[in-house]
C-alpha cells in the first residue's frame, strides 16, 4: 500500500532526513481553540519553545487542499486570521484535499499526518475525549480512536472537565493506549494539576519517557502513547475558580443544542468569556510547558530510533 507523503517544509525535511528531533504541533488550537491574536502569538511562541529545547517544530495543517507539515510564518498568520476554516479530524482530510480547502487539524488528523511524515512526537494542549453525557449522545472524540491506531506520542496537559475524565481514561485503556503522567501520580485536568484520578503510570524524566516510547513500538503494539504533563503550579487555576464555570458552559451548550464538532470550540470560547480570560492565560502556559517536554523527549528519542 502506498501512502501519501504530506509536503514537508525544507527545514523539517532536512531534520528528519538526518534523524534529528522534530516535534509536531496541531492547528485546530489555532483555528478553533483560541481567539485572534492570542492564537497566533501562542503558535509562534510554542515553536520558539521547541527550538529553545533543541528540536525543530512542525506545525501541521491543510493549506488550500495540500497536506502540510511545517508552515512558514506568513502561512501561520493567514491560518490564524482566517474565518470559517474547516476543523478537520482524520476522516475529513481527503475531502478537504478534493475541495482545495484550508483546515485546522485536530489531534486525530495531526497524529495521522505526523505519522505519514515520520514524526513520532506531538505536543498540544488538551486532547479530545469522552464528553459528559456520552451515554446519551455517544460523543467520543476521534482523538481517542486515533490514539488506538496511530503510533504518535501525544504530550498534553490531561483533559479538562468539559469531558468525563473517568470515561476518557476507561476508553484509553480499552484502546490499549498507555497514559503516562510526567512527574506525578495524578492524571492532570488541564487547567488544574489534579483531576481526582490516577494516571496508569508515572515517569519522571523525558529520557525515561523516550525509552518507554521506543519499547512500546518495539513490542509492535501499534498504538500511540498519551503523556500527561501537569500545568505549571504558577499558571494553574483552582477548582473553586474554574469548575463552576466549566459546568455552566456545559449546561449552556446542552440547552442550546450544540453538539458534534461545534461542541468543543463552543465550550473553549465560552469558558474563556466566563472566566474573564483566565482560562486562555492558563491554556497558553500549559501548551508552552508541553512543547518543552515534547522537545526534550524528541532529543532523547532521536538516538534510540537511529539505533545509536
Q: Which positions from 30 through 59 interact with ligand PSU, judged by CB under 6 A? A: 33
Choose the one of ligand PSU, Mn ion, none that binds residue 16, judging by a C-beta under 5 to 8 angstroms depending on kind: none
Choose the one of ligand PSU, Mn ion, none that binds residue 113, judging by a C-beta under 5 to 8 angstroms depending on kind: none
Q: Per CB under 6 A, which region of 2-10, 42-50, 139-147, 291-299 contacts ligand PSU?
A: 139-147
Among 246, 262, 29, smallest CA distance to 137 is for 262
Nearer to Mn ion, 139 or 186 (CB): 139
| Secondary structure letter of residue 140 according to DSSP | B
Distance separating alpha carbons of residues 201 and 179, to the nearest angstrom: 6
Q: Per CB under 6 A, which region of 8-16, 114-122, 137-145, 192-200 contacts ligand PSU?
A: 137-145
Question: How many other β-carbons are positioned within 10 Å of the β-carbon of residue 273?
Answer: 13
Distance separating alpha carbons of residues 143 and 35, to the nearest angstrom: 22
- Residue 92 sits in the site that holds Mn ion (CB under 5 A): no
- Residue 268 sits in the site that holds ligand PSU (CB under 6 A): yes
Nearer to Mn ion, 76 or 156 (CB): 156
Strands 56-63 and 22-25: parallel
From 139, 146, 164, 186, residue interacting with Mn ion (rule: CB under 5 A): 139
- Residue 188 sits in the site that holds ligand PSU (CB under 6 A): no
* Catalytic residue of the set 87, 160, 186, 261: 160
Q: Which positions from 93 through 112 interact with ligand PSU, judged by CB under 6 A? A: 106-107
Distance separating alpha carbons of residues 9 and 192, to the nearest angstrom: 36
Nearer to ligand PSU, 26 or 120 (CB): 26
Among 127, 91, 97, 130, smallest CA distance to 112 is for 91
Assign 3-state DSSP to the chain and report helix, strand, coil percentages, each to 5. Answer: 50, 15, 35
Q: Per CB under 6 A, which region of 13-21, 26-34, 56-64, 231-239 contacts ligand PSU?
A: 26-34
- Residue 29 sits in the site that holds ligand PSU (CB under 6 A): yes
* Catalytic residue of the set 26, 47, 146, 186: 26
Nearer to ligand PSU, 268 or 297 (CB): 268
Q: How far is the CB of 142 from ligand PSU (least distance, A)?
A: 6
- Residue 146 sits in the site that holds ligand PSU (CB under 6 A): no
Nearer to ligand PSU, 143 or 186 (CB): 143
To the query of whether residue 167 is one of the catalytic residues in this protein, the response is: no
Among 181, 224, 186, smallest CA distance to 205 is for 181
Choose the one of ligand PSU, Mn ion, none that binds residue 47, judging by a C-beta under 5 to 8 angstroms depending on kind: none
| Secondary structure letter of residue 120 according to DSSP | -
For residues 101 and 86, is the Cβ–Cβ distance under 8 A? yes
| Sign (positive or negative) of CA dihedral 237, 243, 245, 246 | positive
Cell reading at 84:
470559517
Distance separating alpha carbons of residues 293 and 149, to the nearest angstrom: 23
Distance separating alpha carbons of residues 24 and 122, to the nearest angstrom: 4
Distance separating alpha carbons of residues 225 and 177, to the nearest angstrom: 5
Q: Which residues bind Mn ion (CB under 5 A)?
A: 139
Catalytic residues, by residue number, are 26, 160
Q: Which residues bind ligand PSU (CB under 6 A)?
A: 26, 28-29, 33, 106-107, 125-128, 141-143, 261, 264, 268
Amino acid at each position: 500500500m502506498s501512502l501519501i507523503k504530506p509536503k514537508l517544509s525544507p527545514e523539517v525535511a532536512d531534520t528528519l532526513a538526518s534523524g534529528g528531533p522534530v516535534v509536531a504541533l496541531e492547528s485546530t488550537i489555532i483555528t478553533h481553540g483560541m481567539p485572534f491574536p492570542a492564537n497566533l502569538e501562542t503558535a509562534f511562541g510554542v515553536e520558539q519553545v521547541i527550538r529553545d529545547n533543541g528540536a525543530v517544530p512542525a506545525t501541521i495543517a491543510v493549506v488550500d487542499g495540500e497536506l502540510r507539515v511545517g508552515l512558514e510564518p506568513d502561512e501561520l498568520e493567514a491560518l490564524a486570521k482566517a474565518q470559517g476554516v474547516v476543523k478537520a479530524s482524520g476522516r475529513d482530510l481527503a475531502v478537504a484535499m478534493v475541495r482545495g480547502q484550508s483546515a485546522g487539524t485536530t489531534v486525530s488528523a495531526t497524529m495521522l499526518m505526523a505519522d505519514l511524515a515520520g514524526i513520532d512526537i506531538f505536543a498540544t494542549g488538551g486532547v479530545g475525549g469522552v464528553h459528559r453525557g456520552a451515554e446519551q449522545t455517544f460523543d467520543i472524540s476521534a482523538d481517542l480512536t486515533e490514539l488506538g491506531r496511530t503510533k504518535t506520542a501525544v504530550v498534553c496537559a490531561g483533559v479538562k472537565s468539559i469531558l468525563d475524565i473517568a470515561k476518557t481514561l476507561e476508553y484509553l485503556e480499552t484502546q490499549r493506549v498507555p497514559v503516562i503522567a510526567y512527574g506525578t501520580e495524578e492524571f492532570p485536568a488541564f487547567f488544574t494539576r489534579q483531576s481526582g484520578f490516577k494516571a496508569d503510570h508515572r515517569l519522571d524524566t523525558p529520557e525515561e519517557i523516550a525509552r518507554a516510547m521506543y519499547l512500546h513500538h518495539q513490542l509492535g503494539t501499534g498504538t500511540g502513547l498519551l503523556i500527561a504533563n501537569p500545568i505549571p503550579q504558577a499558571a494553574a487555576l483552582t477548582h473553586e475558580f474554574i469548575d463552576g464555570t466549566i459546568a455552566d458552559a456545559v449546561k449552556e451548550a446542552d440547552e442550546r443544542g450544540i453538539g458534534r464538532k461545534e461542541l468543543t470550540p463552543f465550550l473553549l470560547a465560552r469558558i474563556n468569556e466566563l472566566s474573564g480570560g483566565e482560562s486562555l492565560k492558563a491554556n497558553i502556559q500549559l501548551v508552552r510547558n508541553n512543547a518543552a517536554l515534547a522537545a526534550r523527549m524528541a532529543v532523547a528519542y532521536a538516538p534510540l530510533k537511529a539505533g545509536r
